[in-house]
Structure 1
Amino acid sequence: MLKLTQRYLAVNFIAPFTMSLFFFVAFLLTFQLFRIIKIVISKGVEWSLVFELMGHIAISFIPMAVPLSCLFATIYTLNKLSDDSEIVAMRSFGMTKSKLFLPFLISALFIGACIYSLNNKVIPASKTQFKNTIIRLTSRGVLTDIKEGQFFTEVAGVTLFADTVIDKGRKMYNVFIQQEGKGNLLEQVVTAKEGALIKIKNEEWSIPSVRLHLTDGTIVKRFKDTNKDLEKILFKEYDFPLASGGAVNNFVTKDGMRTNAELRSEIKKATALAVKKKLSRKDRERSMAKTKLELWSRINTPLLCFVFILIGFSLGIKHGRGKSKNSSGRALFVLLGYYSLFFLGVSFARKGIVPAYVVVFAPTIILASIGAYFYKKLDWAS
């Protein structure tokens, strides 16, 4: 009877969890739809590719949506069972609190294992594929969007102008380029009599590296905080990198697009470099903060699923039919507290003030303590 009851509880949890997961992923996806629609309108993208993009970005939202789904699905399931007096019936034939929690615990372990596996390779691969496809579609317009007598500004930090454009940019005359600088370089201005777009494709991802081959021109660089304010260079031939995605070989730059092994490798390299440069502890933490936050967050997400299910279990059970504890309101309060503490810690971690693992795990430990308190306080006898 107990095994049958526990299977019944697990089955009742699956449907609300699936619906909650779909809702949260769809909600998060709406924030990316504007970007995708803009590309569809301006680049003439096929609808099959649009759905592929939406699929990749939806997969990347799963780690954020799963813990929330665990919390609200557990609360909904137990609220419904309490309202239908099924919890009372289970208690009447001697089902203990721990045995009632067991199917939810097993569900948490299964969900946690799945999300950890997805976070290892599948989700980074989806993020990489999404970014690669966006760059490929965006760069498709490099050959078509450059118009003569008009400023072209689709490449970040670069303004391009040409008096004459022939054959979709394969030949240009009287070219002017203004590029924002970094560090001591304020800006650089490139002028040339002639220019031609050169497109080199990466075979694996079909991501073009677009360069503008210029002839007979000058480069003027303007500096700050140096002995010389201007530097002028004359050139016969010069290749100006124009691709919005940067060099293909260095494409994967975001930590979310790396596997767990690659993240650990990056941390080791950064640690060795910090030791070599004799950086302080604060500077070391600041230089590796983003990578460490990504790695520890992937480990923390399965734990968070268990903690949220524990809190949902403690808040979801009612003391009787019709007696409401405003479970959803209390759950929202817990969520706001957790994420406020987490994002506050992230800001400290990026400044090197607090180690990344403390920022990631401390809110989860506090939340687990709150969940354990609610679980212990749950009056099972009355």
Structure 2
Amino acid sequence: MKTIDKYIIREYIPPLLLGFSLFTFIFLMSRFFELLNMSITRGVSVSYTFSIFIASLPYLVSLTIPMAHVFAGIMTFGKFANSGEIVAFKTLGVNFYKLLKSLLIITVFIMLLLVAFNNTILPNSNHRLKNLMLNVYRFKPTYQLEEGVFLKNFGKYSFFIEKINRKDDTMNNIYIYQESNGYISRIIIAKKGKIMHDTKQDTLWLLLKDGSIHDFEKGKNEYHIVNFKTQNFILPIKEEISSKGTTYRGDRELDIFKIIDRIKKTKMQMKRNISKRESKFMKLHYRRTLNRLYMEIYKKITIPLTSIFLLMLGAGIGARIKNSNIGLSLTISLGIYGVFYIMMIGGESLSSRGIVNPIVSAIVPLITFGVAAIIVIAKAMSEYSIIKTLFRKN
């Protein structure tokens, strides 16, 4: 390895580690306060909260490593530009692409490690995190509930609870609104209630006391009211909050080989059902399922792959702004990765709905940032070519 390559790598590694540490810290703090709130106000034990915190780390790492590359690119080449080293390199016949060569080799190596990480450690941590959260829902049922606000994430039901005692999962002054065809068809009111967990059927249900049920019929002037001393109400929680949730793995909890196996099984099931002339709705359902699975494979590769383009983009930006300020580099990096993340999430959403092919959703962000990186680097090179010419004339 040439001396100049060693020097460039030596200058690049510290800001890369700094960027990784800063971004990880930022995301960890956001997660930390969320978990702190879980422990203090929701009654989840500190040790259990810490387990959730640890299980959250791999996902954060998969995001912050690509972000660290754009930060390090801006910092390193901003410093080179500010100190005049890029011009000096150019006079020695070392152009911008040669400066990037050794860094690209390192980035490719880190990218391959991240692909392996995303395919092995990340799925298992996602599975563990899901199971930890499912246990919270089971044994701390009021975790999902807020007092004094309308809760609308329970299917066709909305809840309003004036007071919640999280120590014994009891509640006071409960209002349950049932929606049907766009209007409120039933209101259940109870003075007291308690969330119960049926361990045999693994379901959550409300034991309501001293209340009434109010039924309305749209278009009719009819109103029915039934008073009760006790009433059971099964909570419409997600199907995955069940005993099978501890073993069943979702799309993000599988490695590439298991996803491919699930794709094969889904295709076989799709062929059988199509031969039976399934409805168009079911065909669309299978297509969306396949798209989600394909997208998970592509994400495991494209997110690490974006590190290369983010490095190039960061290097070009750093060379142009001639500044290695940490705050500025951090802000620009967050903005750039924010755009990439929005594009990736947007593409994933369109793909899962069957609107866009998953490979298109995965590649478009890469192409966009690849083109942007080439343009920025080309402008930086042309700028320093002019400077070099002026330097020679003088």
TM-score bin, normalised by smaller chain: 0.5 to 0.7
Counterpart of 2:266 (choices 267, 270, 275) is 270
CA shift for structure 1 position 40 = 0.7
Counterpart code for 2:263 = I
Higher alpha-carbon deviation: 119-128 or 90-99: 90-99
* CA distance in 2: counterparts of 1:352 and 1:134, whole angstroms: 29
Report if aligned partners of 2:75, 2:323 keep a CA contact under 8 Å in 1. no
User: Pick from 227, 249, 255: which aligns with 2:251?
Assistant: 255
Contact 1:315-1:327 at 8 Å conserved across structures:
no
TM-score between the two structures when normalised by the length of structure 2: 0.66
Alignment gaps of 5+ in structure 2: 144-150, 160-167, 170-175, 189-193, 208-214, 218-231, 389-394
340-349 or 64-73, larger mean C-alpha shift = 340-349
Identify the residue that residue 286 of structure 1 maps to in structure 2: 288
Alpha-carbon shift at residue 78 of structure 1 (Å): 1.0
Partner of residue 311 from structure 2, selected from 294, 309, 325: 309
Q: Quote the residue 2:368 is aligned against.
A: 366
Of structures 1 and 2, the one scoring higher in RCO (CA 8 A, sep 6+) is: 2
Go from structure 1 to structure 2 and tell me whether the alpha carbon gap of 1:46 and 1:15 turns closer, same or farther (over 3 Å shift). farther
Deviation at 1:122, TM superposition (A): 0.6
Q: Over residues 118-142 of structure 1, what are the superposed CA-to-partner deviations in whole Å (9 max), with x where a residue is unaligned? A: 1112112112222222232343335
Q: Is the 8 A contact 2:141 2:204 kept in 1?
A: no
Letter paired with 1:359: S
* 30-39 or 352-361, larger mean C-alpha shift: 30-39
Does 2:355 align with 1:346? Answer: no
SS at match of 1:95: coil
Structure 2 residue matching 1:363: 3-state secondary structure? helix
SS of match in other structure, 1:268: helix
CA displacement at 1:269 relative to structure 2: 2.3
Tell me, yes or no, if the aligned pair for 1:21 and 1:65 is still in contact at 8 Å. yes
Map 1:16-165 to 2 at 5 A.
16-42=15-41, 44-141=43-140
Percent of pairs identical after alignment?
19
1:83-102 deviations in whole A, cap 9, x for unaligned?
22333343344334333111
Q: Answer whether contact 1:43 1:138 (CA < 8 A) is retained.
A: no
- Taking the aligned partners of 1:88 and 1:319, their CA distance within structure 2 comes to 14
Report the 3-state secondary structure (helix = DSSP H, G, I; strand = E; otherwise coil) of the residue aligned with 2:244. coil
How far apart are residue 368 of structure 1 and its match?
Answer: 1.3
Secondary structure of the 1:317 match is helix
- Greater helix share, 1 or 2? 2
Q: 1:246 to 1:181 in 2, by over 3 A?
A: farther
Secondary structure at 1:352's aligned position in 2? coil
Q: RMSD of the alignment, in Å?
A: 5.2
In 1, distance between residues paired with 2:334 and 2:195?
A: 57
Amino acid at match of 1:274: M
User: Residues 300 and 140 (structure 1 numbering): CA distance in 2 closer, same or farther, change over 3 Å?
Assistant: same
> After alignment, is 249-258 or 299-308 more displaced?
249-258
Aligned residues: 345
Could you say if the C-alpha distance between residues 124 and 54 of structure 1 is closer, same or farther in structure 2, counting changes exceeding 3 Å?
A: same
Cα-to-partner distance string for 1:266-321 (whole Å, 9 max, x where unaligned): 22222222333475886543233333222211111122111111212222224989
Q: Quote how far apart the aligned CAs of 1:361 are.
A: 0.7
